[in-house]
Structure 1
Amino acid sequence: MNTTDFTYILQHPQSITATQISDVKSIINEFPYFQSARAIYLKGLKNKESFKYNQELKTTAAYTTDRSILFDFITSKEFLQNEISQHIKHNTEHLKAIEVSDIEDISVNKSVIIDDALRQQIKDTEPILDPALFEAKVEAITPEDVIDIDVSNIQKTPEETLEIGKPLTFNKNEVHSFSEWLKITSFKLIIREDEETKVESSPKNDQEKKFELIDKFIASKAKIQPIKKDVPTYNIAKAQMIQPEALMTETLARIYVEQKNYSKAIQSYKVLSLKYPEKSGFFADQIQAVKELQEQNNI
């Protein structure tokens, strides 16, 4: 991949191909802190619905200093928009823009002039155009050959029902879900440091810093003022408390499933069922699938 190709997919990330995804991965391996390359690689995996997407999102978060920018990127319209839907939208708008002027009558009532030679030729070919000559041989089907298939018994596996392995999709309102997902992953923020100038703090240095802070506090003659009785008190924790159902989303429930935290996943779907009663049947199926996974893994 040359500079021109890379610049083009930076400007048109929805057009990235499978070959270019591999090329961008090679660039990332050589330059792991190249944020633009990681962004394009994420977009490519998302377009292909790759099972590698969720893991790569964790890695990208670890290499990102400001994760709010990463969240804005993966929830942007350009990132969520698929290349196919872009083509459909473009073609639809193109068809709507076509002006229809003259309408041609294509009815079959127009008279067709057939000369005698053509009429005779049609008559001569009628015997060999007999449809009966081309009928397929029909074999008798006995009752023993009939297999009854009960469609209702064909069920998806728990993995298919829960869409395990598919890319997690966040929207702008799921900041809490995204933060919770990053919290439960094992990746930590990666900070570049110069090994030569890296100084490890010793317990002795930390202890000295604590004493210096205490000395400064005493030297400034600072005093802790008692709370006045006539000043009203507020329960800040209670005022800022957010109800759990307000933070619960389907994405967060999927995150718990991906992390094999089945108890939390079941509880999440129960909360969602109460929050969205019109989808209670769907959430009931999700809960049943989680329970099956729980039994399979003996958790």
Structure 2
Amino acid sequence: MSNRYVKESFSYWTSHPDDITEADIPYLQEASDLYPYCQTLRVLVAKATALHQPDVAEVPIQKAAAYSISRNTLRKLIQNEFQWSPNLKSKKFENVLWPADYQKKDVESLAKPRWNLPELPKISLFDEPLESSQQKTLMPELPPIDDTTLRENVLQNDLEQIESSTAEENVKLHRELERQIQMDIIDSFIENEARIGPIRANLNDVVNVEPEDLAKKRNSTVRGEVVSEGMARIMVRQGKIERAIEIYEQLMLKKPEKKAYFAEKIKDLTTE
């Protein structure tokens, strides 16, 4: 059942990877295990996991990078920077096999229902006039407005809005941090690892080789965090100036050719 579902949806997912839901990830993973040489399945698993489950996206991204021919293209796909060619855009995916889940509903099923309104009683204009006492509608006397209560309610609403905006900013910073960590992992593949060579004669050797955990190799860490210029910028945004200076000092040791550049960054932070 799951393999059939993946086969029917595969063509659609390759051209619409952002439409993959979190519930589709187990089916893609099962298909990837069944067809270990299918590069596209591993890329789709990495893309869907980074989109819906960023906390556990490190391993799928590593495997996709190990099997991908172009890791720059993989990074653009995960960052939503991939551009479709004009030829594909002009065809509008006319040859794509759409799964049953994405078929449009019949227009007749969306037609508005007809409503039969009940017949209203007729009103006579020649009824006897109402008594004068019934014609006058007395408005109930409203209690005086308590200004203190009103001000307290306004202040409470303002505080709730401030707390809500602060929580949203924290969530955005957390997501940006996770995204920066993922990009650093991909950068480590591009900088430190050679491109995949030609397919070997014995394909079993390729399958049995486990990808090296380059995240551990890459992460020269301080306090368990990734040391990179992007991480230093995030620390500055969060107001953690001392932490940012520590990261720049680590980068000066790691990249001595850019020592003057990082020293200028430290000087800017200490003079603010």
TM-score in terms of structure 2 length: 0.41
- For CA contacts below 8 A with separation 6 or more, give which structure has more relative contact order: 1
TM-score in terms of structure 1 length: 0.38
Name the structure with the higher helix share. Answer: 2
